[in-house]
Amino acid sequence: MEQLLTANVANNLYWFGRYLERIEATLIEAVYHFDRIIDIDKDSGKTFYKKLGVDLEYENAKEFLNVAVFGNHSANVYNLISYAKENAIISRSNMDTEAFGSVIELADLLKHSSHSSFSIDCRYIDYVLSLISEIWGELTRRQKRNNSDYFIRLGKLVEKVDFHLRIEKDKEFSLVLMEEIDKIVTRLAPDAKFKQHDENESYETILNSVNNKIKKIIVEE
């Protein structure tokens, strides 16, 4: 029997996937720019966060990590995990039990670490990334996928495309991801028709297309 989801639950599963992917991608980039700040370009972190719409200020690489993860800005990782936790709570009955528990554990870890006295290093970020990998594994271990799994996967892929395009990184890879997004959207909305895209199109055009696809299955009822 096909799993039935309310629009609210589907929306929260989708955004859970987006927020968890955003945290992972942001932390990976933070470690990359941490190394660049030390060895190549002190302003590397500022350039990266500018693409995310954030004006980041720091004096050195160590301070960069702290303000990148817990600074007062929209890409604050602690805020993002709080949003993901709220999404998970709302859709708890449609999420793997162990994955849900791991999300709560991760949110508690970041909350405890968000105090001003805590100093972040790359080992800490690697540990957080390992917990996120465990969550993804717990979410995908079922042999038979339910609609809930597709909405989480859809959120992950859309965020991956969005993130790559915002930082102007590897448009070709984003288009490959769009093909998988189309397969999922077509499964969830069989009657919807979607246009294919190529590398000649602007980042904005591709992102608008992604958002229009999502509206077909989540916003519209």
Q: What angle do CA 5, 164, 202 make, to 5 degrees?
A: 100
Give the range of the structural domain holding residue 152, as residue numbers without chain letter. Answer: 7-219
Q: What is the per-residue pLDDT for 140?
A: 87
Which of 128, 168, 151, 173 has its CA nearest to residue 23? 128
- How far is the C-alpha of 157 from the C-alpha of 153, rounded, in Å? 6
pLDDT at site 1: 39
**Tokens found for residue 40:** 């190549």
CB atoms within 10 A of CB 66: 15
pTM of the model: 0.89
- Structure confidence at residue 18 (pLDDT): 95
The pLDDT value recorded for residue 4 is 66
Question: Is 81 domain-assigned?
Answer: yes
Q: What residues contact 46, with CB distance under 8 A and at least 6 apart?
A: 55, 56, 57, 58
Which pLDDT does position 125 carry in this prediction? 95
> What pLDDT score was predicted for residue 209?
74
Number of domains comprising the chain: 1
The burial of 206, by beta-carbon neighbours within 10 Å (0-12 exposed, 13-18 middle, 19 or more buried), is given as: buried
Tell me whether residue 152 is in a domain: yes
Give, for all 221 residues of the chain, the pLDDT tens digit. Answer: 345 688 889 899 999 999 999 999 999 999 999 999 999 999 999 999 999 999 999 999 999 999 999 999 999 998 999 999 999 999 999 999 999 999 999 999 999 888 767 788 999 999 999 999 999 999 988 767 788 899 999 999 999 988 988 887 777 787 788 888 888 888 887 776 666 666 677 777 777 777 777 777 775 44
Q: Are 20 and 84 in contact (CB under 8 A)?
A: yes
Question: Does residue 2 lie within any of the structural domains?
Answer: no
Per-residue pLDDT at 215: 74
